[in-house]
Chains A and B, each alone.
Chain A
Amino acid sequence: MTEPQPHRVASCHSDGTGAVAPAGAPVVALVGAPNVGKSTLFNALTGARRSVGNWPGTSVEVGRGAWKGRRVMDLVDLPGAYSLDAASPDEELTRALLVDVPACELPEVTVVTVDAAHLARSLYLVSQLRELPLRLVVALTMDDVARRRGITVDAEALGRELAVPVVVVDPRRRAGLARLHDAVLAQLDAPVPAARPVPAGLGEFELADDRFAWIESAVARATTQTAKPGQSWSDRIDRVALHVVWGPLLFLATMWAVFQLTTTVAVPLQDALDTFVAGPMSDLTSTALRGLGAGRIVTGLVVDGVIAGVGMVLTFVPLMAIMFVLLALLEDSGYLARAAVVSDRVMRLIGLPGKAFLPLIVGFGCNVPAIAATRVLSTRRQRVLTALLVPFTSCSARLTVFVLLGAVFFPDNAGTVVFAMYLVSIALIVITGLLLKKTLWRAMGSEPLIMDLPPYQRPTLSLVGISTWIRLKGFLQTATGIILATVVVVWALQAWPVRGEGEFADVPVQDSAYAALAETVAPVFAPAGFGSWESSGALVTGFVAKETIISTWAQTYAVADPEAGGDGAELGAELRRSFDESSGGHPLPAVWAFMVFLLAYTPCVATLAAQWREIGARWTAFGVAVQLSVAWVLAVAVFQVGRLFW
């Protein structure tokens, strides 16, 4: 079996992969409707760490891993699909790999994940697969949820009705996995079963009726309902979470709490780490390097470059960890699907369905997976528009800069300032979307909202931990990859004298190549109040990744004043001085303008790569032009208006 390999780009997000099966291992496909626990099962079977979430559309790419046991198998996790009648690219991918490939490339066995609590609905995909010459095994999940609702599923009876082996599994508790392995092995040795015959000459909806009749018959014979479901606590929560008035307010309050909690808890930890990195760590390293006989260049590169730059970015690890934990809690609890419903009205304003909110909310963590998540949308126009709007979502990398500037310039209201930037982010998405809808996308029709609302669940420690770790690992990889490379380049430019009498690695930073280059860009930002070479240079390196803005500032001021060693308090004082000078005595409007520019301009090269992959070079270039234009115009407007009052 062959399938498109997911492209990997450097980003602050990565999906965890497990061990790879040896060549020649039997290929087993894992399919199922969205949100039935398929990716959780995949992780349990392979030891991989794919992102899982309690909302439809978590998996939009193919995952692959070795399923070890009595025999190693190559398990392929396909995007969730309600049926083989694809309504979006992620569902098309599933159809392509199960239906449209040549027979010789079909998986040896297909495991269909079926939700026992919503049996009839989950079996539609099984009914379609039974019409194909495929070896099937049904993995019955959510049996505990079904029992709590008074539904008992007789797996053996269901297997007889479907003519497919049915195995009850609980991937969250790793129960039933060995039996599933055995059932798949047994199928591997069995002949391909005959396809379920369907009456000839039926139209699409008559054929669907035939399938539903088959499903209802199987469900009636294999299940017993011992209690009528009453109002669940999910229903009670939804009375508020989806309320016409309280729903949007709760959503805003939730997001505010996330950012307030993040900044309140993380800032003291960050300060402590910052003091350690800038003080004892830098001093000890300098002393050690001098003791080892290292020269000025090596000491400068390590202390003023790597430690000042990468070290400063790493002080944001507690902040990122807290943010990622809170996002994982929201995902795993099932609230995100409600947020999509609540935001449907706003999304419709810009011609997008409420479902488009899901990629956008993912973008608040990291823009790169958000671009990939646009595949849950059904039309190309919706995907292009959403992919163009995703860069306006304030990713966690920008959060680090907002927190730094908030703490330096608005120490008493840092959390509220950060939250305000998220509101600006939402406003930017809506306004840009409206403008694009009124101009380029006038003919785009609206898509209905049909959102399956998963029951709320108590988030599990392990899933939240895995989700947080996957994202945090991505951040750390960025810090040690892209940011380290940028730090070295910036250090080299700052060490290279182009005027004055300094020599390499012993030059005032204002006489360096870095300052000279930044000065050529700085006039562009003068009308926005941050036309200093220090800020302009940081924005240029920020094009690579937003975290590098902090590392660049830290390096710049560490080199400018090596005695300060990039200390956090010193950095704050330098930033205040720089913004005060560049704004002509109006530093606060200049900082707001800087943050607005930072929010609106191109997020990072990884996001550009993801956009290029999803919507092509032309739209990516168009997006960059729009982002830079919007960013500059807004920043100038914010500063020019703000300085009249501030």
Chain B
Amino acid sequence: MSIGELCTDCVELGACRAGHGGVVTCVVRNERNVGTVRRLAELGIRRGASIVAGQRTPGGGRVVAVAGSQLALDADTLRFLHICP
């Protein structure tokens, strides 16, 4: 189950080039990541939010800029998030 829908132009946030971004179109949700999806929403990462991918971090994660904040996300979390440039 996901929040939002994927389109042909959508890419995983983790696959985005640094400095590029777009609008969050889909947040993949399953029975194990409900808490994660909720926390992301509270921090501003939810469907319709503008997001910019930043630099990669040790371990395969990356920094993202959203709603004036910088958040560090790990590689697994990045896979939940799809954006449309």
Residues of A within 8 A of B (CB): 82-83, 85, 87, 117-118, 120-121, 124, 149, 151, 204-205, 208-209, 212, 229, 234-235, 238-239, 242-244, 247-248, 337, 341-342, 344-345, 348, 354, 378, 445-446, 448-453, 455
Contact = CB atoms under 8 A, between A and B. Distances in A.
B57 A341 contact: yes
B57 A82 contact: no
A453 B58 CA distance: 15
Given A124-B42, A212-B41, A450-B73, A205 B3 contact: yes
B42 A82 contact: yes
A87 B39 contact: yes
A344 B43 contact: no
A238 B55 contact: yes
B71 A450 contact: yes
A118 B69 CA distance: 7
Contacts of A344: 57-59, 61, 72, 74
**Size category of the binding interface on chain B:** 20 to 34
Given A242-B63, A243-B55, A83 B69 contact: no
A388 to B, nearest CB: 23
A205 B61 CA distance: 26
B40 interface: yes
Nearest to B59: A345
Given A450-B36, A450-B40, 4 more contacts: A151-B68, A242-B55, A448-B76, A451-B73
15 contacts: A82-B42, A83-B42, A238-B54, A238-B55, A242-B63, A243-B55, A247-B57, A341-B61, A341-B72, A344-B58, A448-B73, A449-B61, A449-B73, A450-B40, A451-B72
Given A242-B63, A247-B57, A235 B70 contact: yes
B7 interface: no
Contacts of A149: 68
Most central of B39, B42, B76 by chain A CB within 10 Å? B42
A378 B32 CA distance: 14
Contacts of A117: 68
Contact of A354 (B33, B39, B70, B74): B74
A239 to B, nearest CB: 6
Contacts of B73: 448-451
B70 A118 contact: no
A449 B14 CA distance: 14
Contact of A448 (B46, B57, B69, B74): B74
A455 B68 CA distance: 11
A95 to B, nearest CB: 14
A449 B72 CA distance: 7
Interface in B1-16: 3
B58 A82 contact: no
A83 B39 CA distance: 9
Interface in B66-85: 67-74, 76-77
A236 B38 CA distance: 30
A342 B63 CA distance: 12
A378 B35 contact: yes
Contacts of A242: 55, 57-58, 63, 72
Sorted nearest first, the 8 A-B pairs with minimum C-beta distance are A345-B59, A449-B74, A453-B70, A451-B72, A341-B72, A448-B77, A82-B42, A242-B57
A558 to B, nearest CB: 50
Contact of B58 (A124, A208, A244): A244
A368 B37 CA distance: 33
B43 A453 contact: no
Contact of B39 (A342, A345, A445, A450): A450
Given A82-B43, A120-B44, A450-B40, A342 B57 contact: yes
Given A205-B3, A208-B41, A453 B74 contact: no
A244 B74 CA distance: 13
A446 B74 CA distance: 11
Contacts of B61: 341, 344, 449
B69 A121 contact: yes
Contacts of A337: 72
A149 B73 CA distance: 24
Contacts of B40: 450
Contacts of B3: 205
A234 B41 CA distance: 24
B42 A121 contact: yes
A515 to B, nearest CB: 52
A248 B72 CA distance: 15
A450 B58 CA distance: 14
B68 A229 contact: yes
A381 to B, nearest CB: 15
Contacts of B59: 344-345, 348, 449
A14 to B, nearest CB: 31
A510 B41 CA distance: 68
Contact of A212 (B38, B46, B72, B74): B46
Most central of B39, B40, B46, B60 by chain A CB within 10 Å? B39
Contacts of A120: 44, 67
A455 B63 CA distance: 13
A87 B69 contact: no
B77 A85 contact: no
Given A205-B3, A239-B55, A345-B58, A451 B71 contact: yes
Given A121-B67, A448-B73, A449-B72, A247 B42 contact: no
A121 B56 contact: no
A244 B39 contact: no
Most central of B56, B59, B63, B69 by chain A CB within 10 Å? B59
B68 to A, nearest CB: 6
